[in-house]
Amino acid sequence: MTRRAALLMTAAVAAQPKQLTAGEIIARIKKEVAVPWRDQTVDTLKSGTPESKVTGIATTFMSTLEVLQKAVADGKNMIVTHEPTFYAGDDGTASTAADPIVVAKKAYIERHNIVIFRFHDHWHMRRPDGIRTGMLNELGWQQDQTHNTTLKQLAADVKTKLKISTVRVIGDSGQRITKVALNPGYANLAGAMRALATADVLIIGEAREWEIYEYVQDLNANGTRKALIVLGHAISEEGGMKECARWLKTFVPELPIAHIPAGELFWNL
Protein backbone atom coordinates (compact mmCIF):
# COMPACT_ATOMS: atom_id res chain seq x y z
CA MET A 1 0.00 0.00 0.00
CA THR A 2 1.35 3.41 -0.94
CA ARG A 3 1.74 6.16 1.61
CA ARG A 4 -1.02 8.15 -0.12
CA ALA A 5 -3.41 5.19 -0.01
CA ALA A 6 -2.65 4.65 3.67
CA LEU A 7 -3.36 8.31 4.42
CA LEU A 8 -6.65 8.13 2.52
CA MET A 9 -7.67 5.00 4.44
CA THR A 10 -6.77 6.66 7.75
CA ALA A 11 -8.82 9.72 6.82
CA ALA A 12 -11.79 7.56 5.83
CA VAL A 13 -11.70 5.70 9.13
CA ALA A 14 -11.42 8.99 11.04
CA ALA A 15 -14.42 10.37 9.14
CA GLN A 16 -16.68 7.54 10.29
CA PRO A 17 -18.84 8.43 13.29
CA LYS A 18 -17.73 6.89 16.56
CA GLN A 19 -19.91 3.97 17.63
CA LEU A 20 -20.82 4.55 21.23
CA THR A 21 -21.90 1.88 23.69
CA ALA A 22 -25.12 1.96 25.64
CA GLY A 23 -23.13 2.35 28.84
CA GLU A 24 -21.33 5.43 27.52
CA ILE A 25 -24.63 7.05 26.50
CA ILE A 26 -26.29 6.27 29.84
CA ALA A 27 -23.29 7.74 31.67
CA ARG A 28 -23.77 10.98 29.74
CA ILE A 29 -27.50 10.97 30.52
CA LYS A 30 -26.79 10.56 34.24
CA LYS A 31 -24.37 13.48 34.13
CA GLU A 32 -26.48 15.85 32.04
CA VAL A 33 -29.80 15.28 33.82
CA ALA A 34 -28.11 16.97 36.79
CA VAL A 35 -30.00 15.29 39.64
CA PRO A 36 -28.71 12.63 42.07
CA TRP A 37 -29.21 9.19 40.54
CA ARG A 38 -31.42 7.00 42.71
CA ASP A 39 -30.30 3.57 43.86
CA GLN A 40 -33.89 2.34 43.61
CA THR A 41 -35.28 3.35 40.23
CA VAL A 42 -37.02 1.95 37.16
CA ASP A 43 -34.49 3.87 35.03
CA THR A 44 -32.38 0.89 34.01
CA LEU A 45 -31.56 -1.19 30.95
CA LYS A 46 -34.45 -3.48 30.05
CA SER A 47 -32.62 -5.18 27.18
CA GLY A 48 -29.07 -5.16 25.91
CA THR A 49 -25.96 -4.56 28.00
CA PRO A 50 -23.75 -1.57 28.77
CA GLU A 51 -21.33 -2.94 26.15
CA SER A 52 -23.96 -3.03 23.39
CA LYS A 53 -22.96 -0.95 20.37
CA VAL A 54 -25.49 1.73 19.47
CA THR A 55 -26.29 2.70 15.88
CA GLY A 56 -28.83 5.39 16.69
CA ILE A 57 -31.28 6.46 19.39
CA ALA A 58 -35.07 6.74 19.33
CA THR A 59 -37.04 8.30 22.16
CA THR A 60 -40.67 7.43 22.80
CA PHE A 61 -43.38 7.51 25.43
CA MET A 62 -43.77 3.73 25.27
CA SER A 63 -41.71 1.11 23.47
CA THR A 64 -44.55 -0.70 21.74
CA LEU A 65 -43.73 -3.34 19.15
CA GLU A 66 -44.69 -0.86 16.43
CA VAL A 67 -42.25 1.71 17.81
CA LEU A 68 -39.50 -0.93 17.91
CA GLN A 69 -40.23 -1.87 14.29
CA LYS A 70 -40.06 1.76 13.17
CA ALA A 71 -36.77 2.27 15.02
CA VAL A 72 -35.22 -0.81 13.40
CA ALA A 73 -36.38 0.35 9.97
CA ASP A 74 -34.74 3.71 10.66
CA GLY A 75 -31.43 2.15 11.71
CA LYS A 76 -31.76 2.96 15.40
CA ASN A 77 -31.18 0.18 17.92
CA MET A 78 -31.36 2.07 21.23
CA ILE A 79 -34.78 3.03 22.58
CA VAL A 80 -35.09 5.56 25.38
CA THR A 81 -38.61 4.94 26.64
CA HIS A 82 -40.55 6.72 29.35
CA GLU A 83 -42.92 3.88 30.23
CA PRO A 84 -42.55 0.09 30.48
CA THR A 85 -41.91 -2.31 27.62
CA PHE A 86 -43.51 -5.38 29.19
CA TYR A 87 -46.75 -4.08 30.69
CA ALA A 88 -45.63 -3.80 34.33
CA GLY A 89 -44.10 -0.96 36.30
CA ASP A 90 -40.80 -2.78 36.75
CA ASP A 91 -40.93 -4.57 33.36
CA GLY A 92 -41.00 -7.88 35.22
CA THR A 93 -42.23 -10.85 33.19
CA ALA A 94 -42.16 -13.63 35.77
CA SER A 95 -45.93 -14.08 35.56
CA THR A 96 -46.27 -13.36 31.82
CA ALA A 97 -43.20 -15.07 30.36
CA ALA A 98 -45.23 -17.67 28.46
CA ASP A 99 -47.65 -15.17 26.92
CA PRO A 100 -47.32 -15.28 23.10
CA ILE A 101 -46.84 -11.52 22.61
CA VAL A 102 -44.27 -11.31 25.42
CA VAL A 103 -42.38 -14.18 23.76
CA ALA A 104 -42.66 -12.56 20.33
CA LYS A 105 -41.60 -9.13 21.55
CA LYS A 106 -38.57 -10.50 23.39
CA ALA A 107 -37.59 -12.48 20.29
CA TYR A 108 -37.85 -9.37 18.11
CA ILE A 109 -35.71 -7.38 20.56
CA GLU A 110 -33.04 -10.09 20.65
CA ARG A 111 -33.09 -10.65 16.89
CA HIS A 112 -32.42 -6.99 16.19
CA ASN A 113 -30.04 -6.37 19.10
CA ILE A 114 -32.26 -3.64 20.50
CA VAL A 115 -31.14 -1.81 23.62
CA ILE A 116 -34.00 -0.47 25.73
CA PHE A 117 -33.32 2.08 28.46
CA ARG A 118 -36.16 3.36 30.59
CA PHE A 119 -35.97 7.05 31.48
CA HIS A 120 -38.85 7.92 33.75
CA ASP A 121 -37.94 8.88 37.30
CA HIS A 122 -35.00 11.14 36.59
CA TRP A 123 -36.56 12.85 33.57
CA HIS A 124 -39.39 13.89 35.89
CA MET A 125 -36.90 14.84 38.63
CA ARG A 126 -34.99 17.16 36.30
CA ARG A 127 -35.58 20.85 36.84
CA PRO A 128 -37.50 21.89 34.98
CA ASP A 129 -39.34 18.56 34.65
CA GLY A 130 -38.53 17.21 31.18
CA ILE A 131 -42.02 15.88 30.53
CA ARG A 132 -43.75 19.09 31.58
CA THR A 133 -41.31 21.17 29.52
CA GLY A 134 -42.05 19.14 26.40
CA MET A 135 -45.80 19.42 26.92
CA LEU A 136 -45.63 23.19 27.32
CA ASN A 137 -43.59 23.34 24.11
CA GLU A 138 -46.22 21.31 22.25
CA LEU A 139 -48.96 23.65 23.46
CA GLY A 140 -46.92 26.77 22.81
CA TRP A 141 -47.41 27.89 26.40
CA GLN A 142 -45.08 29.46 28.91
CA GLN A 143 -44.86 28.53 32.60
CA ASP A 144 -46.88 31.65 33.56
CA GLN A 145 -49.43 31.32 30.76
CA THR A 146 -52.71 33.15 31.32
CA HIS A 147 -55.88 32.71 29.28
CA ASN A 148 -59.12 34.48 28.50
CA THR A 149 -61.31 31.94 26.78
CA THR A 150 -64.13 29.49 27.35
CA LEU A 151 -63.65 25.90 28.46
CA LYS A 152 -64.91 24.66 25.09
CA GLN A 153 -62.51 26.91 23.17
CA LEU A 154 -59.57 25.88 25.36
CA ALA A 155 -60.30 22.17 24.92
CA ALA A 156 -60.60 22.64 21.14
CA ASP A 157 -57.31 24.56 21.05
CA VAL A 158 -55.51 21.83 23.01
CA LYS A 159 -56.98 19.18 20.71
CA THR A 160 -55.79 21.06 17.61
CA LYS A 161 -52.28 21.76 18.91
CA LEU A 162 -51.73 18.15 20.00
CA LYS A 163 -53.26 16.81 16.76
CA ILE A 164 -55.46 14.32 18.60
CA SER A 165 -58.90 12.99 17.80
CA THR A 166 -60.56 13.57 21.15
CA VAL A 167 -60.34 15.07 24.62
CA ARG A 168 -62.57 14.30 27.61
CA VAL A 169 -63.95 17.30 29.47
CA ILE A 170 -65.83 17.80 32.74
CA GLY A 171 -67.38 21.22 33.38
CA ASP A 172 -69.55 23.90 31.83
CA SER A 173 -68.50 24.38 28.20
CA GLY A 174 -69.15 28.12 28.44
CA GLN A 175 -67.14 28.67 31.64
CA ARG A 176 -64.59 31.49 31.33
CA ILE A 177 -61.04 30.25 31.79
CA THR A 178 -58.24 32.53 32.94
CA LYS A 179 -55.90 30.19 34.83
CA VAL A 180 -54.89 26.69 33.73
CA ALA A 181 -53.04 24.02 35.74
CA LEU A 182 -51.17 21.26 33.91
CA ASN A 183 -50.36 17.78 35.22
CA PRO A 184 -49.11 15.46 32.46
CA GLY A 185 -49.37 11.74 33.10
CA TYR A 186 -51.14 10.32 36.15
CA ALA A 187 -52.67 12.86 38.52
CA ASN A 188 -53.43 12.07 42.14
CA LEU A 189 -56.31 13.52 44.14
CA ALA A 190 -54.22 15.59 46.56
CA GLY A 191 -52.36 17.30 43.73
CA ALA A 192 -55.58 17.99 41.85
CA MET A 193 -57.17 19.54 44.92
CA ARG A 194 -54.20 21.89 45.35
CA ALA A 195 -54.21 22.85 41.67
CA LEU A 196 -57.94 23.50 41.49
CA ALA A 197 -57.84 25.68 44.60
CA THR A 198 -56.48 28.45 42.35
CA ALA A 199 -56.90 27.27 38.74
CA ASP A 200 -60.11 27.28 36.72
CA VAL A 201 -59.24 24.08 34.90
CA LEU A 202 -56.79 21.23 35.38
CA ILE A 203 -55.39 19.41 32.35
CA ILE A 204 -54.21 15.86 33.11
CA GLY A 205 -53.19 12.67 31.39
CA GLU A 206 -55.31 10.29 33.44
CA ALA A 207 -56.69 9.60 36.91
CA ARG A 208 -58.94 7.15 38.70
CA GLU A 209 -62.50 7.99 37.78
CA TRP A 210 -63.74 7.80 41.38
CA GLU A 211 -61.17 10.39 42.50
CA ILE A 212 -60.54 13.58 40.52
CA TYR A 213 -63.40 13.11 38.08
CA GLU A 214 -65.95 12.74 40.85
CA TYR A 215 -64.34 15.57 42.85
CA VAL A 216 -64.73 18.03 39.95
CA GLN A 217 -68.34 16.95 39.41
CA ASP A 218 -69.09 17.58 43.07
CA LEU A 219 -67.38 20.99 43.00
CA ASN A 220 -69.73 22.04 40.21
CA ALA A 221 -72.79 20.56 41.89
CA ASN A 222 -71.88 22.62 44.96
CA GLY A 223 -71.70 25.83 42.93
CA THR A 224 -67.90 26.07 42.44
CA ARG A 225 -67.19 26.30 38.72
CA LYS A 226 -64.15 24.16 38.00
CA ALA A 227 -63.21 22.03 35.01
CA LEU A 228 -61.09 19.05 34.05
CA ILE A 229 -59.57 18.20 30.66
CA VAL A 230 -58.36 14.61 30.25
CA LEU A 231 -55.93 13.87 27.40
CA GLY A 232 -54.85 10.29 28.07
CA HIS A 233 -51.52 9.37 29.65
CA ALA A 234 -49.64 8.79 26.39
CA ILE A 235 -50.75 12.01 24.70
CA SER A 236 -49.96 14.08 27.78
CA GLU A 237 -46.35 12.83 28.02
CA GLU A 238 -45.29 12.20 24.43
CA GLY A 239 -44.19 15.80 24.01
CA GLY A 240 -41.84 15.30 26.93
CA MET A 241 -40.08 12.46 25.12
CA LYS A 242 -39.88 14.58 21.98
CA GLU A 243 -38.11 17.13 24.19
CA CYS A 244 -35.87 14.30 25.41
CA ALA A 245 -34.69 13.66 21.84
CA ARG A 246 -33.84 17.35 21.42
CA TRP A 247 -31.99 17.30 24.76
CA LEU A 248 -30.01 14.14 23.90
CA LYS A 249 -28.76 15.75 20.69
CA THR A 250 -26.99 18.42 22.73
CA PHE A 251 -24.56 15.93 24.28
CA VAL A 252 -24.63 12.86 22.00
CA PRO A 253 -23.67 14.47 18.68
CA GLU A 254 -22.05 11.31 17.32
CA LEU A 255 -25.29 9.44 16.65
CA PRO A 256 -28.57 10.03 14.80
CA ILE A 257 -31.37 10.70 17.28
CA ALA A 258 -35.10 10.94 16.58
CA HIS A 259 -38.41 10.83 18.38
CA ILE A 260 -40.84 8.05 17.44
CA PRO A 261 -44.27 8.68 18.98
CA ALA A 262 -46.27 5.78 20.35
CA GLY A 263 -49.26 7.65 18.95
CA GLU A 264 -52.81 8.14 20.16
CA LEU A 265 -53.85 4.85 21.70
CA PHE A 266 -57.60 5.14 21.20
CA TRP A 267 -59.90 6.00 18.30
CA ASN A 268 -63.33 7.60 18.22
CA LEU A 269 -66.59 6.28 16.82
Measure the CA–CA gap between 166 and 188, rounded to whole angstroms: 22
Q: What pLDDT was estimated at residue 13?
A: 44
| Domain assignment present for 264 | no
| Domain assignment present for 114 | yes
Counting residues of the chain whose pLDDT is more than 90, the rounded percentage is 89
**Of the residues 101, 127, 153, the one at which a domain ends:** 127
Q: How many domains does the chain have?
A: 2
Residues 80-113 pLDDT 10s: 999 999 999 999 999 999 999 999 999 999 999 9
| Domain assignment present for 248 | no
The three-point CA angle 82-113-241 to 5° equals 20
Same domain membership, residue 120 and residue 183: no
Residues 150-182 pLDDT 10s: 999 999 999 999 999 999 999 999 999 999 999
pLDDT-derived band at 243 (thresholds 50, 70, 90) equals: very high
Q: What pLDDT was estimated at residue 146?
A: 74
| Domain assignment present for 44 | yes
Same domain membership, residue 15 and residue 122: yes
| Domain assignment present for 151 | yes
Residues 208-219 pLDDT 10s: 999 999 999 999
Measure the CA–CA gap between 45 and 29, rounded to whole angstroms: 13
Measure the CA–CA gap between 218 and 238, rounded to whole angstroms: 31
Same domain membership, residue 117 and residue 134: no
The partner residues of 204 in beta bridges, in order of sequence, read 183, 230
Same domain membership, residue 134 and residue 123: no
Same domain membership, residue 171 and residue 100: no
| Domain assignment present for 251 | no
| Domain assignment present for 75 | yes
Same domain membership, residue 87 and residue 173: no
- The residue range of the domain holding 160 is 130-234
- Count Cβ atoms below 10 Å from residue 189 Cβ, excluding itself: 14
- CATH number of the structural domain spanning residue 157: 3.40.1390.30
Same domain membership, residue 108 and residue 148: no
Q: What pLDDT was estimated at residue 211?
A: 98
Same domain membership, residue 13 and residue 119: yes
Region 60-82 average pLDDT: 98
What's this model's pTM, rounded to 2 decimal places? 0.90
Region 26-52 average pLDDT: 97
Same domain membership, residue 137 and residue 40: no
| Domain assignment present for 263 | no
